Amino acid sequence: MEKVIESIKAREIFDSRGNPTVEVDVILSDGTRGRAEVPSGASTGEKEAVELRDGGTRLQGKGVHKAVMNVNQDIAQALKGTDPFNQALVDQMMIDLDGTENKRKLGANAILGVSMAVARAAANSLKVPLYRYLGGTDLELPQTFHNVINGGEHADNGIDIQEFMITPVERDSFRDGFEKIVNTYHVLKKVIEEAGYTTGLGDEGGFAPDLSSSEEALQMLHDAILKAGYTPGKEIAIAFDAAASYFFNRETKNYDFEGKTYSPRELGEYYASLFEKFPEIISIEDPYGEEDWDSFAEFTEKYGQQIQIVADDPVCTNPKLIREAIKKGMANSILIKLNQIGTVTKTLEAIRLARKNGYTTMMSHRSGETGDPFIADFTVATNSAELKSGAPARSERVEKYNQLLRIEEELGQAGTRLAHFPDNVDYD
């Protein structure tokens, strides 16, 4: 008997920041259920697909009853009887039903919830793990990037760089790398406390001390790695997301950063000084604003051979924008967020496009997360070499890492991805 989508039901739930979001159940004709919860970002690019909110006074205007209604009425009716194993067809039907460039009619939160739930229902119906259903065989676990000091839009403190991350480089297994991160995270807390700062947490589980500068944050990471017993850059490396759109001055085309004004060239020189002082930095995300493509490309040409340069806000997981960025020579890595583009199929297209052109891909969570570990399975399924999903704190973050531990157990040694970045720096 052919299995088809029997019914779809959405509801309003709440994410890790206490804001409303969409949860979707897809029921197949054999009774199989697939459930998905949609994440939400705080640091959002202007080119992202539209997250439909209700407006008005209820829940500060952030309610998602409109998106829920769109799922329960228009989308449910359109997809009833559709083949759940044809993900591309399901996703395209919703895109056509919406009929807009940025999914503003039905809402990307409505469409993505259904897209993810259909994939999970199909996997459940076949009684295979989601990562196996979407990815097949010959899979590996990712290298993870953990936001352990928050700044910018993710914290109320004095540093403008948004995320300071640590990542395990030299490791025997995923678990070994994660344990190194956990050890460093706990030592970092002591380093921050000993410096006289508080250790409150930001949205993504990282500490949010009121530091004087981004350089001070990097020094604390360096010290914590050493005190945890690891070699900076060899066992634990550093990455950061500048999220420069938030300190880009659109009138002057300069960058107002931590009390100073930098021209694009001067900002690039500042980053270069950080690379020189902290050679364990291996990746930088969004060093320039989403409108400043020329500076982004010039920076990539100058430093792209020595460091990973990740584009997020300028491209927003949109294949059309990624093609333009590739032609421009901007970045050498693409950040991937499911809810930026709104469907599983379009996200897969973005990943294939980046890889085809020699770019790495870094899968990413959002600051408003849920307990749904979909992204963990999806990262393994797509063989994305990298994943950032927050600090090893807060259950909505840790659940992604716990799911990866389970997947590693299932895949065995074949799923172990060893050092992803080449050891080409003199760390002594």
Label residue 340 exposed, middle or buried (CB < 10 Å: 0-12, 13-18, 19+).
Answer: buried
Q: Is 96 annotated as a binding residue?
A: no
What dihedral angle (degrees, nearest 10) is formed by the CA atoms of 411, 412, 413, 418? 50
Q: Is 285 annotated as a binding residue?
A: yes
d(CA 79, CA 95): 12
Provide φ and ψ at 362, rounded to 5°: -120, 110
Q: Is 105 annotated as a binding residue?
A: no
d(CA 189, CA 369): 23
Among 267, 219, 222, smallest CA distance to 242 is for 267
Q: Are 57 and 46 in contact (CB under 8 A)?
A: no
d(CA 64, CA 52): 7
Q: Which residues lie below 8 Å from residue 383, measured CB to CB, with a gap of 6+?
A: 135, 138, 139, 140
Q: Which two tokens stand for residue 30?
A: 């054999």
Q: Is 295 annotated as a binding residue?
A: no
Q: Which of 23, 37, 204, 258 is catalytic?
A: 204
Q: Is 258 annotated as a binding residue?
A: no
d(CA 32, CA 29): 7
Q: Is 163 annotated as a binding residue?
A: yes
Q: Is 241 annotated as a binding residue?
A: yes
Provide φ and ψ at 193, rounded to 5°: -65, -40
Q: Are 344 and 91 in contact (CB under 8 A)?
A: yes
d(CA 280, CA 377): 29
Strands in 248-249's sheet, in edge-to-edge order, are 248-249, 254-257, 260-262
Q: Which of 337, 369, 386, 408 is catalytic?
A: 337
| Buried/exposed code over 376-402 (b: 16+ C-beta within 10 A; e: otherwise) | bbbbbbbbbbbbbbbbbbbebbbbbbe
Q: Is 65 annotated as a binding residue?
A: no
Q: Is 366 annotated as a binding residue?
A: yes
Q: Is 132 annotated as a binding residue?
A: no
Residue tagged 């994660």 (tokens): 178
The end-to-end CA distance of the chain, in Å, is 64
Q: Is 337 one of the annotated active-site residues of the chain?
A: yes
Q: Is 162 annotated as a binding residue?
A: yes
d(CA 370, CA 391): 15
Q: Is 312 annotated as a binding residue?
A: yes
Q: Annotated binding site: which residue ranges?
A: 154, 162-163, 241, 285, 312, 337, 364-367, 388
Q: Annotated binding site for Mg(2+): which residue ranges?
A: 241, 285, 312
Catalytic residues: 204, 337
Q: Annotated binding site for substrate: which residue ranges?
A: 154, 163, 285, 312, 364-367, 388
